[in-house]
Structure 1
Amino acid sequence: MTTPPIRIGRYRWTICALLFFATTVNYLDRQVLSLLHPMLEDEFGWSYTDYSNILAAFQLVYALSMLFAGRIVDRLGTKWGFAVSIVLWSVAAMLHALAIPVGEAGVAVLGIFGITGVSVSVVGFVIARALLGFGESGNFPAAIKATAEYFPKKERSFATGIFNSGTNVGAILAPLTVPWLALNWGWQSTFLIIGAVGFLWLGFWFTLYEKPARQRRLSAAERAYIQSDEQAMEVPADQEEVQAERVPWIRLLGYRQTWAFALGKFLTDGIWWFFLFWLPAYLKAQYGMEGTTIMLPLVVLYSMTMFGSIGGGWFPVYFMRKGYAPYDGRMRAMLVIALFPLVVLAAQPLGHISYWIPVVLIGIGASAHQAWSANIFTTVSDMFPNFTVGSVTGIGGMAGGMGGVVVSKLGGAVFDHYDALGKLETGYTIMFSICAVAYLVAWVVMKSLVPRMKLVRLSNRRSTS
């Protein structure tokens, strides 16, 4: 008589659902401005450079804050680190509604230091976006840490792909709601309504989340399953915070694994943000589309990215089942994924036929980014012990944010330059070409730094990278 299999339990997927909804809110909040940009551009007379400066304020503060957010999450723990983050970014999202009075106060302060001639609206939105970047920086370090806590390695990229697909859902919900809210309630009310959504999530988070060691809803079988492949790298739960405090950033920067993750993020995060923040402006400039007319193409485009996020999370399992170590299988999958954005090279040459051609091609590129993102995040928990995952993710997030600053500033300068020449389409051709090849460049850099799987063991004082 055969013994029936032990039921493991599925509570870990409840935690994954919480991470998914938090990430959805995160991207819903950051997407509002790009959808309102055509309206605000007309109202305040912004140039492409003005808009790029507002975007860069978010990305720069987000980048710098990611470094500290990861460390704070490691020290506060996932539960409180995530809660503090979502409160801060929800308040900042709502503050956009007061951008003009905030800008007036900001201009008055700048005047004290002899800085004059700056736009009130630009200053107000720069301040609001900077605060949003500060708050939102905690989302991914906390979510990656929670994934490392609740999932064994073989499930982490799939779980990451699922919660990371919240970025796509947020990007889909935004064009479905923001233009309608702005049309019927005004842009100020749109920021207030969307920003308030994060507070709803907090109740579920405090009710349902606890560390696995103290989670009463976990069965003993599921807890053992979660911890099944961690004994070689983990420390006891009561020592985790102490260990985190003993690993300084400078030591983490001594590992090639850290640099592989950071440079991979630097070279590719800005591409996703370009797709996220500049596409409404692209549709307006190239096809005269704005307001509710951009809803359908953006919904179609961001719906495509759902397949990349979830499918990309599953893809490395194919190689792991063939005997590859987690990192090695992931890198093979990422090489295939890096080929797909090359189709974006055809977006401008074929765009004269129909706006649907660049929408679909960019959708493929954006979908590939989400597949890439699900895997690059998981390389951290593949090679680092859990008590440093938040810190390493923060370092990579900072690098990715700085890459976003570079892409946004470059885009603003390129678009203003070619717009003045009457050749704005050339500017988009240049930027789309950068988007197309960035992932292959990033893969080569990462593979060169870490050719094959190698665990980071921090129990020794010296680097073993």
Structure 2
Amino acid sequence: MSSDSAEPQATKIRWLIVAMLMGFTFLGHFNRVSISVAGTERFIKPGGLDMEQMGLVYSAFLLVYTLSMLPGGWIIDRLGPRWALAGMGLGMGTCVALTGALGWTGIPIAGMLVPLLMIRGIAGGMSVPLHPAAARSVSLWLPLSSRTTANGLVTAGALIGIAVCFPVFGKLMDHFDWPRAFVICGVAMIAYSLAWLALSSDSVIDHPWTNSAERGMVQLADQPAPQTRSTWREFLDLFRNRNLVLLTLSYAALSYFMYLFFYWLGAYFEKTLNLPVEDCRNATMTVHLAMAVGMVIGGIGTDFLGRKVGRRWGCRGIAMLGMSLSALLAWKGLSIADPTQVVWYFAFALGSLGLVEGIFWTAAPQLEPRNGGLAGAFLNTIGNAGGLTAPYLTPVIASNFSWNAAIAVACCSCGIGAILWLWIDIDPNAERISVHAPDVTAPEVVI
């Protein structure tokens, strides 16, 4: 057969989109968590703000983020993920820069509570599209059997951003002080959003760099249109989707556990383990990088297991294993006196939790394929309803009981989330993926 009649090899533009989505989650979470680095090292001090006040600042972001999530999901489906993510980056970057500009106004740190609450609240509203739009983009660009791998990579970008935030933003504050550090990071996110607009599209069908082979891979998945307008009936159907509701409840339990580590892990290392500032930064980075590695392994492993035993049991098995193991490892870490061992137990705990993150973001659009952005927003709304209480409740429990008690409560929450997976079916309309179906994605995990 001549080379002219050979089928063209699929282009890899879908993995460029995945890489850019990783960049968005990296910058989004770097800029989200940078406030906690500044809080621990600059704002929480005598004559400044106390831990409960900073907890309110952290929760202000999450409260507005959560309340805006469902309207944001409708906007994602209406505009498409490309413009939704661009708007998110431009808005969030502006708010981060304004946080830094606040330091140039002459207001003392003790008087910054109200302006910080306002800026962080607006930032929370602007950040809404990040994960739902990224998951929506993955569902439009990747065949089903590669989506958990892609979502694992995308969510890993978030954890890499969180992990490097502690040492990198700390160094930026050391060299430029905290106001200029925030401005630098905000401008970087604005520039990245403009690059995303120039290089992305809403789906594989619309991108000028893809070829027929790559478009055909996604067409096999029978994708809906990138832009849809959901009705009130479709919105109410989300609450009647039993599997989606259970999925979001499990994610809420996971989020409480996860957000405690996101916002207060550095303070725990400093206040309870008495680690020096530099060691706190490095230990926090290690723990979050472990979660990023877990996300990549979990995504690849779930897709592999799904091809062997079906997506239902592949996802259920990895989810229950990861969440249960995470709670047990964190609980064990509380009983150890050696700070180095505590860091490693927490690292393996967050690594185990990372195994499951991509599953949630693959499952939500799969359970509501026509309104994937809204389904992702529904997941994140209820998920953050659990998560937003952790930044404020954690220091309250720690002050009245101990830091160990605060982390123990989070471990119990994560265990409950694991148990809920006994009743979650992410693929209620099919028994299993046929192992005889063409495997178009087996080699795709290598980028």
TM over 0.5: yes
Structure 2 match to 1:362 = 346
Q: Distance in 2 between matches of 1:327 and 1:143?
A: 23
Out of 59, 62, 72, which is 1:59 matched to?
62
Is 1:191 aligned to residue 165 of structure 2? no
Aligned to 2:400: 417
Q: Say which of 392, 403, 406 aligns to 2:375.
A: 392
Aligned partner letter, 1:212: V
State the Cα distance separating 1:407 from its structure 2 match: 1.9
**RMSD in angstroms over aligned alpha carbons?**
2.5
Aligned to 2:85: 82
SS of 1:318 mapped into structure 2? helix
- Deviation for aligned residue 1:60: 0.8
- Partner deviation per Cα, 1:242-301 (whole Å, 9 max, x = no partner): 553565422221111220222122111122111111011112202333543423212222
Change (3 A) 1:68 1:327: farther
Match of 2:335 in 1: 349
What is the rounded CA distance, in whole Å, between the counterparts of 2:148 and 2:239 in structure 1?
Answer: 24
**Conserved 8 A contact 1:180-1:292:** no
Gaps of 5+ in 1: 105-117, 419-426, 457-465
SS at 1:42 equivalent: coil
Change (3 A) 1:153 1:123: same
Aligned equivalent of 1:257: 243
Give the whole-Å Cα distance in 2 for the aligned partners of 1:103 and 1:433. Answer: 41
- 1:100 Cα deviation from its structure 2 partner: 6.3
8 Å Cα contact 1:101/1:124 also seen in 2 = no
The aligned counterpart of 1:115 is none
Corresponding residue for residue 295 of structure 1: 281
Change (3 A) 1:446 1:348: closer
SS of residue in 2 equivalent to 1:321: helix
Task: Report the equivalent of 1:216.
Answer: 208
Q: Is the 8 A contact 2:363 2:426 kept in 1?
A: no
The answer to whether residue 296 in structure 2 is matched with residue 304 in structure 1 is no
Residues 263 and 446, structure 1, Cα contact 8 Å, conserved in 2: no
Distance of 2:395 and 2:257 partners within structure 1: 14
Aligned-partner residue type, residue 331 of structure 1? R
Q: How big is each residue's C-alpha offset from its partner over 1:158-195, in whole Å with a ceiling of 9 and x where there is no partner? A: 00011111112102221232111212211111111112
Q: CA deviation at 1:93?
A: 1.1
Q: What is residue 165 of structure 1 aligned with on the other side?
A: 156
- Cα shift at 1:310: 0.1
- Paired letter, 1:150: W
Which one of 421, 431, 443 corresponds to residue 406 of structure 2? 431
Aligned residues: 425
Alpha-carbon distance change, 290 to 390 in structure 1, aligned in 2, over 3 angstroms: farther
CA deviation map 1:200-228 (0-9, x unaligned): 21232122111322211111011010121
Give aligned-pair identity as a percent: 18
Instruction: State the one-letter code of the partner of 1:271.
Output: F
Tell me what 1:94 maps to: 97
Of 243, 255, 269, the match for 1:283: 269
1:340 aligns to what SS in structure 2? helix
2:214 & 2:426 partners in 1: Cα distance?
30
Counterparts in 2 of 1:287 and 1:429: CA distance versus 1, 3 Å = closer
Dislocated runs of 4+, deviation >6 Å: 1-5, 100-104
Structure 1, 22-31 or 409-418: larger mean CA deviation: 409-418
| TM-score normalised by L of structure 2 | 0.88
Given that 1:96 and 1:188 are in contact with CA atoms closer than 8 Å, whether structure 2 keeps it comes out as yes
SS of the residue corresponding to residue 303 of structure 1 reads: helix
Change (3 A) 1:242 1:308: closer
Cα distance in 1, alignment partners of residues 237 and 307 from structure 2: 34
Report the equivalent of 1:463: none
**Separation in 2, partners of 1:368, 1:44:** 40
- Structure 1 length-normalised TM: 0.85
Q: Residue type of the partner of 2:60?
A: A
- Which of these residues, 339, 350, 370, is aligned with residue 324 of structure 2? 339
Query: Residue type of the partner of 1:82?
Result: L
Deviation (angstroms), 1:199: 1.6
Q: Which runs of 5+ in 2 are unaligned?
A: 431-447
Seen in structure 2, the aligned counterparts of structure 1 residues 184 and 243 have a Cα distance that, compared at 3 Å, is: closer
| 1:453 positional shift | 2.4
In the other structure, the counterpart of 1:328 is 313
* Whole-angstrom CA distance in 2 between matches of 1:247 and 1:223: 32
Cα contact 2:153–2:296 (8 A) shared by 1? yes
**Whole-Å separation in 1 of the counterparts to 2:105 and 2:240:** 42
